[in-house]
Amino acid sequence: MTEVFRRGRYAALLAGAWLLTIASVGYAGQDDAALWVVNQLNVPVSERWSVNLMTQARIVREVGTYERTVVRPWVAVKLPWNFEAAVGYDAHLFENPRSFLESRGWQRLAYEHDWGYFKSQFHFWQEERFIQGDDEVAWRSRFLMGATTSLPYSLTGVVRNEFFINLNQTDKIRDTGLGEDQFFAGFRRPVNDWLRIEFGYLMQFLERPGKDLFNHGLLLGFAVETPRLDSLWSASRSREGSVNP
């Protein structure tokens, strides 16, 4: 009964976050369907350091138009007390409604806490956006709140919500304040020791002058994590040392 109660609290958290997002984007003037496919590679260099790469394909407009490709390399380091710091770069290669490049430098501080029956995550991002055709740098902050919990059949339930706050106005960014909101609810499952998949419902609000956009669709993600490089190096050196001359 206690376990059922704990799962119920998680379900209530999920429903509350979903309703909060609905309330914040309910005035959007246009709906759309989307499909996001995410591929991620994580390479732990040591116990604390890792190098990572993510690619993302976004298909929108009733899943009939290829909107953009995202390429994101970054470096992360684990800090004390369950914090993690990361610095990276994004290349957003837009195809529709017109072709252009948006480059982003970013810094991220993340925190995770294990409550026993679920884990909570909090991320703070600071972005510097260099949009093709814009002479000014657009500054943006991002705040992510999420939770995960173990489920039967090796599944992990995932819920997260992220707010994107524009900090200044440029030729391309007309308004400060909330510019985007992303909500995700789904599942994560390991396939083997090095591959896991994530899938679920994605809801995205985009602030647009005169016609705010409300996307809803499917996110499908694949994440590969290699063995730690320092462990492989140590094992290789040990095998070399054990060879008799």
Q: What is the pLDDT of residues 67-117, one digit of tens each?
A: 999 999 999 999 999 999 999 999 999 998 789 999 999 999 999 999 998
Angstrom distance (rounded) from CA 9 to CA 38: 29
Amino acid at residue number 174 = R
The residues with which 220 forms a beta bridge, in sequence order, are 37, 199
pLDDT the model gives residue 14 = 54
CATH of the domain at 56: 2.40.160.40
Q: The domain containing residue 23 runs over which residues?
A: 2-228
In a domain, 240, yes or no: no
In degrees rounded to 5, what are phi and psi of residue 115? Answer: -95, 5
Within a domain: 145? yes
How far, in Å, CA of 105 to CA of 89, rounded? 5
Q: 29: phi > 0 → left, psi -120 to 50 → alpha, else beta; which?
A: alpha
- Per the domain annotation, does 234 fall within a domain? no
Q: Three-state SS for 127?
A: strand
pLDDT of residue 24: 45
Assess if residue 243 is contained within a domain. no
pLDDT score at 2: 54
Within a domain: 144: yes
Q: What residues of the chain score a pLDDT lower than 70?
A: 1-31, 62-63, 209-210, 235-245
Does 237 reside within a domain? Answer: no
Domain count for the chain, please give it.
Answer: 1
Q: Is residue 123 included in any domain, yes or no?
A: yes
Q: Report the pLDDT value the prediction gives residue 23, as an integer from 0 to 100.
A: 45
Query: What is the bridge-based pairing of β-strands 30-44 and 213-225?
Result: parallel
Q: Is residue 101 part of a domain?
A: yes
